[in-house]
Amino acid sequence: MKKRDPDLLLAHAPLLRQGMTTPSVMRDVLIALAPATAASMWFFGLSAILVLGACIGGAVAAEWLFADKQARGDSLRDASGILTGLLLGLTLPPGLPLWMAFLGGFVGIALGKVIWGGLGHNLFNPALLGRAFLLATFPIAMTTWVPAVGDGGFLQIYPGNLALPFMQAQVDAMSAATPLGLMKFEQEVTPLANLMFGKTTGSLGETSGLLLLLGGVYLWLRRDLDWRIPVSILLTVVVFSAVLGLFDAERFPTPLFSVFSGGLLLGAIYMATDPVTSPVTPKGTWIFGIGTGVLVMLIRVFGGLPEGVMYAILLMNAATPLIDRYTQPRVFGRGGDTK
Amino acid sequence: MKAFRRLRRNFEHGVHPAHHKQQTENLPIQRVPFGKDYIMPLGQHIGIPARAIVTAGERVLRGQMIAEPGGFVSTSLHSPVTGTVKEIGDFRGVDGRFAPAIAIEADAFATQQVDAGTSIDWEAMSQEEFIEAVQMAGIVGMGGAAFPAHVKLSVPDGVRIRSLLINGAECEPYLTTDHRLMLERPEALLEGAEIMRQKLGAEEAVIGIEANKPDAIEIVQKHIQPGAPVRVVPLKVKYPQGAEKMMIKSVFDVEVPAGQLPRDVEVNVNNVGTIVAIADYFLRGMPLIERVVTVAGPGVTYPANLIVPLGTPVRDVVQFCGGLKPGTREIVMGGPMMGRPIASLDVPILKGCSGVLVFTEEQTARRREYPCISCGRCLEACPYFLNPSRLARLSKSRMFDEMKAYNVFDCVECGCCTFSCPSNIPIVQLIRTAKDDLSHRKEPDA
């Protein structure tokens, strides 16, 4: 008897793929953030776990609630919701009431992603949109910074964390100022070593510059990251501060201080590089990075706020479609320069 | 800067698929035994189909012309076997459609010897005679496109060809036909190169070979006579290094302007297989009746490099290689990046078929598609510097006309974008859909 031929598929070439998938990229970013996240737990104890958990919970809840039934598994599987929650949490003050953190995560996904049409369609970085929402709604809680618990206080919880919804958060007796706040309002410079290793006041994820850089190098090695964006942002900030330093070295921050203080590394490596909300063209990413760097320095030095990374990135997010439109690559064989 | 770039022998962008050539790169070319049924489609080259000049019942000899060119951009066909013309009718082709073809039944007792050994005095031929001879030999581009070779040879007045570029890149994974030809028949390659170079009036012949074939580079180099105007250029291993415009960029550091041909930058590009076919015809009198085919892929029992008479059903070729393994899901003619899937084992091997690749679950599994996250990897992969991400989005919204502003027609469908996409978006397939729609659309009557 004649053997039957196998049923043949007619899938179109190319049949080969590089191994990376969108969820694997998201997972890599989570891995890259692990050291900085662990450090936040070291410095801020149980509060860090609670605040990060609340943010991720809020983000995933929104993701689950607004996805339609069939697509629910998909939108959770790509891990982008978890990443948004974690990134948001890392930008928040450790003493923030947990319900606010949860709300921030929820709003970040709902207004930052879902209403735009889901992953890939949003204009603004969802984590930063969530943070902007919190800053506008709860300005006092969002600018109340607590000093790190230091060693041995892992089980300590900042009393602010447990405030009930819509009740006046207790004013924290232990409040302190961030290095950027000290710089701006009291002309006090924090030693660089503290900035690098994390012994400073600040949001959960921004205290340890070196661990954030380490994660960035990991992402670069894994080719998950468009290196142009962090490089152009950081270079711009360095050049900008160096030029300012020429005018008045006393008044303006040094380049290294500028790089390691505040949320710059977190923003430049993990948020500005969000592929969805940054330009897709190589030339565009340079413009995006330089623009972000300039805005950060303008807000920090000349604006009313001590920190400007969030607004700088959000503003450049808004400019992204325009940048993309005017930086379309030159087509092969059509003259002009490459790139 | 420019000098530095020239040293790199490279074009920009492109991708690095695993080359999977280990399966067959060390296997000598062997001949497939003759079978019974042969099908020669009249339109197996780009351009106008050939016209049959035999009738059903007629006896034909191996190498005898059975169809003449249907026009200038067309070529002839020769019988791959000695036997009897069974039928001239419609047969299922590689694309699944029925198309006219000549079916020949091989003579069970014929020796299948070609009346070979008669060389043709090509040196005495005029340019026109030479071009006609190439057309009558049925020679087409053997790299996969199957574009009639003589058309490329007919250079308009005032255009000069400075270099003959011979494409030995074989950048498609799995395929090793050109590699084996260069290893086993370097003399034929160099003879063919010399014929072509002289007839084109070119100053030099350049053989571009990807650096992952060091043995081929060495052997070809060794066979070049001292002082001969031929040189071998090793090329970076990168897909699509064998796309002719990419190769010209790599070797000469010149971009062929969009919409123009290699001859506009004084270059003529031909595949290694084509050059060997030229030598076989002019030095041994053998028209194009067989070709080298790589049979490989995880679904094939004994991978091989084979000389296959044209018109042999894929079934016979696969059977010779020990048959299909269980779990076979797809068979592709050509390479895995640009080849075409076939629906039936009964379709024949054609002039442009460089490989029969058998794939299993791993390569054909349905990949979950995620939304485009604008990561830009496709932009960095596209050798034509297009914006595949944007093109795919527009195509999904069926905004085909808007795609023209993004130069959709500059796309050569190399598949680098789909290969590089972490969201598994079928980018090149979406672009093909749009190109098809745009080019088959009827213009409204004026």
Per-residue pLDDT of chain B (446 residues), as tens digits, is 444 544 556 888 999 999 999 999 999 999 999 999 999 999 999 999 999 999 999 999 999 999 999 999 999 999 999 999 999 999 988 888 899 999 999 998 877 776 656 788 888 999 899 999 999 999 999 988 889 999 999 888 888 999 999 999 999 999 999 999 999 999 999 999 999 999 999 999 999 999 999 999 999 999 999 999 999 999 999 999 999 999 999 999 999 998 899 999 999 999 999 999 999 999 988 999 999 999 999 999 999 999 999 999 999 999 999 999 998 999 999 999 999 999 899 999 999 999 999 999 888 888 888 889 988 899 999 999 999 999 999 999 999 999 999 999 999 999 999 999 999 999 999 999 999 999 887 666 54
Q: Are A213 and A207 in contact (CB under 8 A)?
A: no
**Domain membership flag for residue A333:** no
Q: Give Cα separations from A116 to A55, A119, A120 (angstroms).
A: 20, 8, 9
Q: Are B217 and B234 in contact (CB under 8 A)?
A: yes
What 3-state DSSP class applies to A188? Answer: coil
What 3-state DSSP class applies to A334? Answer: coil
**Domain membership flag for residue A98:** yes
CATH superfamily of B2-26+132-284: NADH-ubiquinone oxidoreductase 51kDa subunit (3.40.50.11540)
- Give chain A positions within 8 Å (CB) of B373: 22, 25, 119-120, 275-276
Nearest CA in chain B to A327: B387
A123 at interface of B, judged by CB pairs closer than 8 A:
no
**Domain membership flag for residue A5:** no
Nearest CA in chain B to A17: B419
Q: Are B387 and B326 in contact (CB under 8 A)?
A: no
The CA distance from A307 to the nearest CA of chain B, in Å, is 28
Q: d(Cα B198, Cα B46) in Å, to the nearest integer?
A: 26
What's B229's DSSP letter?
S
Q: d(Cα B246, Cα B14) in Å, to the nearest integer?
A: 10
Burial letters B348-377, b for 16+ CB under 10 A, else e:
bbbbbbbbbbbbbeebbeeeeebbbbbbbb
- Cβ separation A330–B385 shorter than 8 A: yes
Number of folded domains in chain A?
A: 1
The CA distance from A279 to the nearest CA of chain B, in Å, is 8
Q: Are A276 and A120 in contact (CB under 8 A)?
A: yes
> Containing domain of residue A62, as a range?
23-166+175-326
Nearest CA in chain A to B299: A6
Q: Are B266 and B254 in contact (CB under 8 A)?
A: no
- Give chain A positions within 8 Å (CB) of B428: 14
**Domain membership flag for residue A134:** yes
pLDDT tens, position by position, B211-235 = 999 999 999 999 999 999 999 999 9
Q: Residue A250 has which token pair?
A: 């006393």
- Cβ separation A333–B259 shorter than 8 A: yes
Q: What are phi and psi of B85, to 5 degrees?
A: -70, 120
- Give chain A positions within 8 Å (CB) of B390: 280
> Which residues on adjacent β-strands are paired with residue B68?
B51
The CA distance from A151 to the nearest CA of chain B, in Å, is 41
**Domain membership flag for residue A339:** no
Q: Name the A residues in 6-45 with CB < 8 Å from any B CB.
A: 6, 8-18, 20-25
A4 at interface of B, judged by CB pairs closer than 8 A:
no
Q: d(Cα A70, Cα A76) in Å, to the nearest integer?
A: 12
Q: Are B205 and B197 in contact (CB under 8 A)?
A: yes
Q: Which CATH number do you get for residue A196?
A: 1.10.3430
Q: Give Cα separations from B266 to B11, B199, B205, B261, B269 (angstroms).
A: 18, 14, 12, 9, 10
ipTM of this predicted complex? Answer: 0.85
**pLDDT at site B308:** 96
- Cβ separation B373–A22 shorter than 8 A: yes
pLDDT tens, position by position, B263-311 = 999 999 999 999 999 999 999 889 999 999 999 999 999 999 999 999 9
- Give chain B positions within 8 Å (CB) of A23: 370
Q: Are A307 and A300 in contact (CB under 8 A)?
A: yes
Give the number of beta-carbon pairs within 8 Å between A and B: 160
Q: Residue B301 has which token pair?
A: 């029992």
